[in-house]
């Protein structure tokens, strides 16, 4: 199991990793597609997993031939998601206690999310966890989504911690690859949304947990 005494920084993905929010995206995608009378493809979530918000908007526009501008697509998603983030999304099991323990140990912490800034801010502030993090970076700052290591390397740089001393938490294979491609240790987090690729997550990651409490017991 992970020895926190050897960790200098923890970097977290947000959706499905730190917060229990992946359930809501199916509902949002379904509602959004209904506006255009387009059936929701079964493979959609996996096709866009790890993409930045900009990449996802381009994907939707091209695959479904949506006439709206990219900025309109993104603003519609933001409007639909912010209320859910503020009122319906909680932390993953044991995450609050783990954040407090890392802070107590003076382990530096950052967030590297494929989400948009407005959406990330909504859930971070709703859950009152902003004070734990030294760096919060979102996809709008990077042209490439995960599995590119760019966002993780930037977070570690801003934290002032070498990649080999960083522990990444991720819930999907593309995110795990982003952390590994950055030269970091990666702990996979179980999530109902990614249950179907559990074996792949185990194979790609260095560790796997269901509850953050496992790391501090």
- Tell me, what's the pLDDT at 104? 97
Give the global pTM.
Answer: 0.88
Q: In this structure, are 12 and 103 located in the same domain? A: yes
Please state, rounded to an integer, the average pLDDT across all residues of the chain.
93
Among 50, 67, 87, which residue terminates a domain? 87
3-state class (DSSP) for residue 141? helix
- Tell me, what's the pLDDT at 27? 86
Domains of the chain: total = 2
Q: For residue 32, what are the contacts with CB-CB under 8 A and spacing of at least 6?
A: 76, 77, 80
Q: How many CB atoms lie within 10 A of CB 213?
A: 15
Euclidean distance between CA atoms 173 and 50, whole angstroms = 8
- Tell me, what's the pLDDT at 98? 98
Among 47, 69, 87, which residue terminates a domain? 87
Tens digits of per-residue pLDDT, 96-135?
A: 999 999 999 999 999 999 888 999 999 999 999 999 999 9
Does residue 143 surpass a pLDDT of 80?
Answer: no
- Tell me, what's the pLDDT at 76? 93
Give the CA radius of gyration of the chain.
17
For 37, the token pair is 């009378």
Burial level of 16, CB count in 10 A (0-12/13-18/19+)?
A: buried
Q: In this structure, are 67 and 110 located in the same domain? A: no
Taking residues 48-52, report their average pLDDT. 81
Q: For residue 90, what are the contacts with CB-CB under 8 A and spacing of at least 6?
A: 19, 20, 127
Got the DSSP string for 86-104? HHT-EEPTTHHHHHHHHHH
Residue 30: domain span:
23-87
Is the CB of residue 122 less than 8 Å from the CB of residue 29?
A: no
């Amino acid at each position: 199991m992970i020895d926190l005494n050897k960790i200098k920084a923890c970097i977290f993905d947000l959706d499905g990793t730190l917060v229990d929010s992946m359930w809501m995206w199916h509902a949002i995608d379904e509602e959004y597609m209904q506006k255009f009378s387009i059936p929701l493809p079964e493979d959609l979530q996996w096709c866009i997993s790890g993409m930045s918000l900009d990449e996802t908007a381009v994907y939707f526009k091209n695959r479904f031939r949506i006439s709206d501008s990219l900025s309109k697509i993104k603003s519609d998603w933001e409007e639909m998601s912010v209320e859910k983030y503020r009122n319906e999304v909680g932390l993953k099991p044991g995450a609050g206690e783990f954040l407090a323990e890392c802070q107590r140990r003076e382990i530096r912490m950052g967030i590297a999310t494929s989400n948009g800034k407005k959406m990330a801010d909504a859930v971070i502030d709703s859950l009152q966890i902003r004070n734990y993090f030294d760096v919060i970076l979102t996809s709008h700052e990077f042209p490439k989504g995960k599995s590119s290591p760019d966002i993780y390397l930037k977070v570690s740089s801003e934290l002032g911690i070498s990649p080999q001393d960083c522990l990444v938490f991720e819930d999907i294979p593309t995110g795990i690859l982003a952390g590994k491609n950055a030269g970091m240790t990666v702990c996979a987090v179980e999530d109902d949304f990614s249950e179907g690729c559990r074996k792949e997550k185990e194979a790609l990651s260095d560790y796997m947990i269901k509850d953050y409490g496992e790391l501090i017991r």
